[in-house]
Amino acid sequence: MFTCYSRILNCLKFTLDKAARLIYHQTCMSHAMLFTGVDVVNRRPRRLRVENRRGEEKCGRKGFFVMNDSWFDEYMFEISVRRNALPKHLQNALAMPPIVLPPWDPMGSLAC
């Protein structure tokens, strides 16, 4: 989408990284999706099959999308994973005291 605008206007450069987009409210967590499959090449995820909560009539192919891994690097903020599926160092991090975020922190809510 941004590339299209840059081509049309030939002057805009969208250069904010993920952290800056959160700080300046240019992105936010808006809804949940369910990962239902992954395409792994050379032990690295390449594409993910995603079920969107909006239903099969509203979007995607029967409610499913295929998204590439680089999209998730930029636009995914939180995931839920079973504890036993986490690497050991992340399992150990769960024993640390939680960090309580202020209500205005962009990671503290699921609303834009």
57-67: pLDDT as tens digits: 666 777 788 88
* Residue 94 within a domain: no
- Would the pLDDT of 4 be above 70? no
pLDDT of residue 30: 75
* Residue 87 within a domain: no
Query: What is the total count of domains within the chain?
Result: 1
Q: What is the pLDDT of residues 9-59, one digit of tens each?
A: 666 666 888 888 888 878 877 777 788 888 999 988 889 888 876 666 666
Q: What is the pLDDT of residues 53-104, one digit of tens each?
A: 666 666 677 778 888 888 888 888 888 888 998 999 999 999 999 888 777 7
* Residue 11 within a domain: yes
Range of the domain at 35: 2-78
* Residue 108 within a domain: no
* Residue 102 within a domain: no
* pLDDT band, very low/low/confident/very high, at 112 (cuts 50, 70, 90): low
* Residue 54 within a domain: yes
Instruction: Confirm if 12 and 30 have CB atoms less than 8 A apart.
Output: no
* Residue 93 within a domain: no
Any idea what the Cα angle at residue 23 is, between residues 6 and 104, rounded to 5°? 140
Cut 0.75: pTM above it: no
Cα-based distances in Å from 70 to 73, 76, 87, 91? 5, 10, 21, 25
